[in-house]
Structure 1
């Protein structure tokens, strides 16, 4: 069940609702014309989408989605936290009108829901000591460097990527999460850490200058992913409006200032990549 949130007015004019999950017939525009709020469903995924202490939606995906809605003139928004696995089923069951929270645009998902045009590219990057003394920017660099150890989260996509690029288990230090990874880097037990670019930037910012991040573009193209906002197919007309407003808002000074706190920078803008291409190639 979604986490119940107290109804609160926050500065952006967003109404956070509790369990307003009753399914209502009709597309999103019908709801808006009837004075109903736009219902956003999201999950608790740090950096991408999560609730703050008051339950308000935070994370760069939520901020961008809400910024686009504001650009369209909509500020009557109702946000509900739910489990990750309930996002797409909840959208299809008409519990939500939009879903956010770091959804990669993937072929399997494109068969079930409609996506906005991409709002971010999220590739991975390496966290390395300041100055990157061993010149480790990608998996091949680690492979070629004598004795270099790469830290990764156990079970993360980066483990599979490292193996695909030829690294042996002996060259990888698999750890539970960011705390252990940062500890291994600080202790010099690992020479680099493979993370999402957002996590790498966050950890570098917390390191007091001890670490820096590498360019996500230094890793193979197939490790790059694109993030979108999910809609029902029935709301195609609204989605067209949303995409038009996205063109105006995405990459603006206002938007980049809003998401700076999450480590989103210009390099994370999706460029000319389209949802059609992403659905076919991811």
Structure 2
């Protein structure tokens, strides 16, 4: 059996190496789970973020890498058990010259420009916090947004706190700031997604996730990509 997986370039979760091989925390998780359920071949499709949902709905591929679960998205696709729980954060130029630590801080500065990737949940989060459309610059993908940040065309790039942390660790010109979150609020969760007609694959993946998530092997693999116990423990109950 072969499974086709769509992904985007967004380290540390999924990206394409210089040798054109595909890697990342969620790519490795998908491979471990799919091999365990008997999949013999995995085919990766690099696409733009806004193609993920329509592509899997139309059967152009069989599953998507994990993205944030939202009610609107759940109306269109079937999500697996959650595989991580991660809050938002900003990637900024070293020193954070405009002191941007939250969406509200961006909204309070009319001269602040925030980079976001088309179709991602951070757009709604920013607007809900009062960030104006004139302050938002939308990009097709993460590499374009990071390049604009380094060029000074935007002041911050909003994405996952984990992803930003990894990017900042690889570039001395950048730093990452995690957004504050009330202790009682659960971090948003991410999950694989499938066509609603593909229940057989969904059930098989969920059964294996229930056995594998939180295991020593799972934790060790995710740690190599910068995911901590916090990001994993926030979803263990959801896979059982």
Q: In which range does the TM-score fall when normalised by the shorter chain?
A: 0.5 to 0.7
CA–CA distance in 1 between the matches of 2:116 and 2:70? 23
CA contact (8 A) 2:31 2:42 kept: no
- Match of 1:69, SS? helix
Please say if 1:243 is aligned against 2:211: no
The structure with the larger Rg is 1
CA–CA distance in 2 between the matches of 1:169 and 1:107? 23
- Residues 60-79 of structure 1 mapped to structure 2, 5 A cutoff: 60-70=25-35, 72-74=36-38, 76-79=40-43
Partner in structure 2 of residue 153 of structure 1: 115
Higher relative contact order (CA 8 A, sep 6+): 2
The Cα shift of 1:39 comes to 1.2
The Cα shift of 1:124 comes to 1.3
Change (3 A) 1:209 1:257: farther
Change (3 A) 1:76 1:217: farther
Partner in structure 2 of residue 81 of structure 1: 45
The Cα shift of 1:55 comes to 4.3
CA–CA distance in 1 between the matches of 2:94 and 2:54? 44
CA contact (8 A) 2:83 2:235 kept: no
Where is the strand percentage greater, Structure 1 or Structure 2?
2
CA contact (8 A) 1:43 1:101 kept: yes
- Match of 1:228, SS? strand
Partner in structure 1 of residue 219 of structure 2: 256
Which segment drifts farther, 245-254 or 228-237? Answer: 228-237
Partner in structure 2 of residue 231 of structure 1: 194
Change (3 A) 1:167 1:109: closer
CA contact (8 A) 2:213 2:236 kept: no
Change (3 A) 1:128 1:214: farther
RMSD: 4.3
- Number of equivalent positions: 229
The Cα shift of 1:209 comes to 9.0
CA–CA distance in 2 between the matches of 1:233 and 1:163? 30
Using the size of structure 2 for normalisation, the TM-score is 0.67
Change (3 A) 1:77 1:52: farther
- Match of 1:66, SS? helix
- Match of 1:229, SS? strand
CA–CA distance in 2 between the matches of 1:163 and 1:220? 23
Using the size of structure 1 for normalisation, the TM-score is 0.59
- Residues 38-187 of structure 1 mapped to structure 2, 5 A cutoff: 38-47=2-11, 48-70=13-35, 72-74=36-38, 76-81=40-45, 83-84=47-48, 87-88=52-53, 91-92=56-57, 94=59, 96=61, 98-127=62-91, 137-140=101-104, 150-153=112-115, 158=122, 161-167=125-131, 177-182=145-150, 184=152
- Match of 1:79, SS? strand
The Cα shift of 1:234 comes to 4.8
